[in-house]
Structure 1
Amino acid sequence: MKKPFVIIGGPTACGKTAMSIELAKRIDGEIISADSMQVYHFMDIGTAKVTEAEKQGVPHYLVDELYPDEEYNVMIFQQKAKIYMDQIWGKGKIPILVGGTGFYINALLYDNDFTETENDTSFRKACYAQAKNEGPEALFQRLEKVDPEYAKIIHANNIKRVARALEYHFLTGEKFSKHNAEQKQKESPYNAAVIILTMEREKLYERIDYRVDLMMEQGLLDEVKNLLEKGYSPGLVSMQGLGYKEFVPYFQGECSLNEAVAQLKKGTRHFAKRQLTWFRRQIDGLWVDLSKTDFPMAMTDILDYLKEKNILE
């Protein structure tokens, strides 16, 4: 009998944290983060990391488990998440995977096999070096040539994902987009229910702009400064995340603070758009438009969906 597994995905700033915590309280669940940035210590404000108060006592995993200079990739995520899922089921509870990193979600949902391409990191490191020396765009142009379909759903600055796709093509001769499509055809080993939160684009963009302004009030600039002062290089994969890379030019005297903030808002809006595109193309589930329903009604729809999927009685 397949074990129950709930996933809440969606674009940044759409309300996943609040919804997942309320759902965990309703169904006796515990939360695993599918966010590629919240796993790092010292990166709290820029990642919109869930606070202890917000958790309301609900256990969270894969939050604050690594330092910014430690490697984190889809295989490490998958291995750690599966261990936590077993622990949660062992307590008689339901694991709830929450985040906007669709690649990570798919990896766990379909138990994708990455071992054949994750053991040798030499090609990946060469890609990182090229991005550092020539700029992310040079690396991205290579991806556009070998896998234009995949290039359409990720950003040129997402060096880790670009390198990953190039590495897969180099090692297997196949397009990463083709690999993802094949993995999607697999049946999940779990009794999984996928919930995708969304909202009208203009409302989502307003929330993103408001969130960035709030982050600045909360001390995002000092957070980035402290990371740099701790010796974490701007070239680290973690420091290339949204909310961090935009402020390095400011500290280097290459742009004004207003320009850095504007760039963060713009980059986050583009990121949210790509997230929605990814979820529409890659994953099936219950879509909940939070611009057309209120929180209680959305929760009712989600609970009804979990009953349909035989996760709740």
Structure 2
Amino acid sequence: MKKYDSITIVGPTASGKTTFACHLAYSLGAEIISGDSRQVYRSMDIGTGKDLSDYTVNGENIPYHLIDIREAGDKYNIFEYQHDFHEAYTDIKSRDKLPIICGGSGLYIEAVLKGYSLVNVPENKELRERYANHTLPELTKILESYKTLHNKTDVDTAQRAIRAIEIEEYKQAHPLEQNEFPPLNSLVIGVDIDRELRRKKISERLKARLQEGMIEEIQEILDRGIAPDDLIYYGLEYKYVTLYLLKQLSYQEMYSQLEIAIHQFAKRQMTWFRGMEKRGIPIHWINAEMPADKKVEEVKLLININHRSF
């Protein structure tokens, strides 16, 4: 049977997947490739949950890739991610190291696992003007009319929804060519966290991030001249905290709306991962409450059970 060429760890926000991935990387002498669509941006640390301290295990620094590679305000996309991913992946493999893909951006991860054919979709000014005054629910309904939906996990702002429509329109007019990158044969591990525990951890983490200075971090980005709309585009923490800083929301409104939005996002993440299984990507689910060392041992057991090596 074909050898695994990587390990992939997925899970919803607040499931502890980064800590798990780092301990696994330490045990296997591996390197981590981030599968997160927002951790690519510099200065956006607390809001994206980079938790860089997790990348030190027993005094050893775990190498990581595709974190802090773009400036805040940029519009990074899945096409760029796929190319950056394979550059990092090739580099890791050339040094006879094991890549561990870790993140919660299901579309990004599925794109590299299945070798999606992607194009760099240009801006369509006419389309953007046409939908400029539509509400997010209206845009979401338009998105749902497409048979092959590009992405429905991250469209929590009107800007992102318009971009998704832009991609679908372009795909219909420009049939995709043969895959540029091959699919990966990855051992995919899912961190399975109980719904109520997930909700509890999300709420606790939101409070902690606010205490750690998330609002101040976002204010500093705005003070550097980054347009508010560019931060709102990133959704979740950056959307609601920016609206608070613009005095369009009270602190309590920001807090409650953001908490609800993160819970909804985590639910959409799980829907995507279950969809991955239906689309032919087996996921081995591991209980989030297991200690990190036990999770590592279970992965090693899975490797042996499947009679495969790296």
The TM-score bracket by the shorter chain reads 0.7 to 0.9
**Aligned positions, number:** 298
Q: Which amino acid in the other structure matches residue 162 of structure 1?
A: A
Whether 1:146 aligns to 2:149 is: no
The DSSP-based 3-state class of the residue aligned with 1:197 is strand
Aligned to 1:208: 202
For 1:295, the aligned partner's letter is A
Describe the shift of the 1:94–1:54 C-alpha distance in structure 2 as closer, same or farther (beyond 3 A): closer
Matched AA of 1:169: E
Counterpart secondary structure, 1:146: coil
Kept in 1: contact 2:189–2:285 (CA 8 A): yes
2:5 matched residue in structure 1: 4
* Distance 1:302-1:208 versus aligned 2 partners, 3 A rule: same
Classify the secondary structure of the residue corresponding to 2:84: helix
TM-aligned CA deviation for residue 163 of structure 1? 4.1
User: 1:111–1:188: 8 Å Cα contact kept in structure 2?
Assistant: yes
Which residue in 2 is equivalent to 1:25? 26
Does 2:77 correspond to 1:80? no
Residues 249-280 of structure 1 show CA distances to partners (whole Å, capped at 9, x for unaligned) of 21222222122112111111110011001101
AA in 2 matched with 1:304: L
Distance in structure 2 (CA, Å) of the matches to 1:208 and 1:142: 30
| Structure 2 residue aligned with 1:306 | 303
**1:162 to partner: Cα distance:** 3.5
Give me the TM-score of the superposition, normalised by structure 2.
0.85
Tell me the residue number matched to 2:293. 296
What secondary structure is seen at the aligned counterpart in 2 of 1:213?
helix
Deviation >4 Å, runs of 4+: 125-133, 149-153, 158-161
Q: 1:238 to 1:31 in 2, by over 3 A?
A: farther
**How far, CA to CA, are the matches of 1:21 and 1:135 in structure 2?**
41
The 8 Å contact of residues 112 and 184 in structure 2, kept in 1 or not, is answered as: no
CA contact (8 A) 1:159 1:237 kept: no
1:107 CA drift (Å): 0.7
Does the CA contact (< 8 Å) of 2:19 and 2:292 recur in 1? Answer: no
Q: Tell me if structure 1 keeps the 8 A contact 2:231–2:239.
A: no
Equivalent residue for 1:107, pick from 107, 111, 114: 111
Deviations 1:163-185 (A, max 9, x none): 454234323449xxxx9xxx9xx
Equivalent residue number for residue 73 of structure 2: 69
RMSD of aligned Cα (Å): 2.9
Aligned letter for 1:170? Answer: E
Gaps of 5+ in 2: none
Percentage identity across paired residues of the two chains: 28
